[in-house]
Structure 1
Amino acid sequence: MKVEIWSDVMCPFCYIGKRRFEDALQQFDQKDKVEIEWKSFQLNPDMKTDPSVNISQYLADAKGWTLEYAHQMNAHVTEMAAEVGLTYHFGRAVVANSFKAHRFSHLAKKHGLGVEAEEKLFRAYFTEGKNIDDTATLAELGNEMGLNRQEIIDVLSTDAYADDVKHDIAEAEYLGIRGVPFFVMDGKYAVSGAQPVPVFSQTLEKAFEEWKPTAISNTDDINGQVCGPDGNC
């Protein structure tokens, strides 16, 4: 049974949602029969990469918040992440456009390492403070996963996989996806947001029992915390 997950590397709830889904999957008796496919979604396609800008200051300027409020919001999300074993360092986060990272992810997917690439990218952005729009950084991440460093550099020096990223984004728009993370199980049941583990578990069980071709138009939605294209989380 396929589970498709739309997300953006810079979405804090996407990494939290990933962990909660993985916890549910680990408890699922039929986990060996579940195939995971990560899909691209950009929260802010127009974002300009600027390592000199602090992420809290960026959020304050972009959303019209005070800097203090931006810090408070990031602290709150950091606490949420800690509850699922993740360490967020917003003070290190690099303001970066995620399009190149999504292209890198599609290259990794071609080599059967799509799931591994997502984990690497999330950790690089939220924990390690790496620039996910930097080719050398992505080449190093890929090399750590077993990908060929030079192939990554060569691919990212062109517009390879740009159409794949755009296709995922267009598919999300067609399906009416307005925020991420967004999980679609067997093309039938959808979970929106970083839901609690039991929600993922129940949906996995239900989708697996009814595992058969069906249309996404009949999706049952369960809504939770998401980040939207307007920058609101």
Structure 2
Amino acid sequence: MKVEIWSDIMCPWCYIGKRRFEAAMEQFSDAGSVEIEWHSFQLDPTIESGHGDNLYTYLSKRKGIPYEQAEQMNHQVTALAADLGLTYNMEQAVVANSFDAHRLIQLAKQHQLGDAAEERLFKAYFTEGKDFSDAGTLVELGKEIGLEESVLTELVSGQGFATEVRRDIQEADALGIRGVPFFVFDRKYGVSGAQAADTFLEVLNKSVDEWKKTQPAGLEIIEGQTCGPDGDC
């Protein structure tokens, strides 16, 4: 059964949601039946990288709120993240356009490294203050999760996987997704936000139980004369 997760690297609730979902999966007895796929989403596709605003100034301008309120909002989410073992250094965050980071994730997905890419990029942004719009930074982060440097260099020098990023964003719009994180279970149930692990676990149990009922039973075999790999015929 597939669980699809729409997320943006610059979303603090997405990193928290990832941890809470992982906690649910650790408790889920049928985790081996679940396939997880990450999808791209951009909270603000209009951001111009290198504008120089820190996160609090950016949020103040975008939301039309006082600087101090933006700072306080992030202090609250930082405390929640810490409860999950995550370190948010919001004052160091480099506000940049996440499109190229999503292209890296799409590349990583082709190598079964989608989850590793999400994890590394979240940490790079929220903990380490790295600029995920910088080509060299993306190459280094990609190498850290096991991607070849030549493939990464080709990615950052062109527009590879841009179509896949845009397709994910368009699909989110078609599904009515207006915010992230957003979790879709077997294309039957949607869960919005960084819910508690117990909520994710409840939906996992329900979804997998229903999914199993739709799977074909094992083959009923009528035996006949065959040849096997051991040479018996």
1:177 corresponds to which letter in structure 2?
A: I
TM-score, normalised by the number of residues in structure 2: 0.89
Structure 1 partner of 2:84: 84
How far apart are the structure 1 equivalents of 2:94 and 2:213?
41
CA RMSD between the two structures = 1.3
Report deviation, 1:33. 1.6
Report deviation, 1:52. 2.8
1:56 corresponds to which letter in structure 2?
A: Y
SS of match in other structure, 2:62: helix
Structure 1: which 5+ runs fail to align? 215-233
Structure 2 partner of 1:4: 4
Are the equivalent residues in 2 in contact too, given 1:186–1:213 (CA < 8 A)? no
Report deviation, 1:125. 0.6
SS of match in other structure, 1:37: strand
Report deviation, 1:213. 9.6
Structure 1 partner of 2:136: 136
How far apart are the structure 1 equivalents of 2:3 and 2:13?
18
Report deviation, 1:191. 0.7
* Rg (Cα) greater in structure: 2
Report deviation, 1:196. 0.6
Structure 1 partner of 2:168: 168
Structure 2 partner of 1:231: none
Structure 2 partner of 1:219: none
Comparing 165-174 and 76-85, the one that deviates more = 76-85
Structure 2 partner of 1:197: 197
Structure 2 partner of 1:228: none
Report deviation, 1:50. 2.1
Are the equivalent residues in 1 in contact too, given 2:103–2:162 (CA < 8 A)? yes
Structure 2: which 5+ runs fail to align? 215-233
**Higher share of residues assigned strand:** 1
Are the equivalent residues in 1 in contact too, given 2:139–2:156 (CA < 8 A)? no
Structure 1 partner of 2:113: 113
Structure 1 partner of 2:228: none
How far apart are the structure 1 equivalents of 2:45 and 2:213?
33
SS of match in other structure, 1:43: coil
Are the equivalent residues in 1 in contact too, given 2:59–2:70 (CA < 8 A)? yes
How far apart are the structure 1 equivalents of 2:168 and 2:77?
27
2:9 corresponds to which letter in structure 1?
A: V
With over 3 angstroms needed to count, the CA separation of the structure-2 counterparts of 1:168 and 1:3, relative to structure 1, is same
Query: Which runs of structure 2 are paired with 1:39-188 in the superposition (5 Å)?
Result: 39-50=39-50, 52-188=52-188
How far apart are the structure 1 equivalents of 2:212 and 2:177?
22
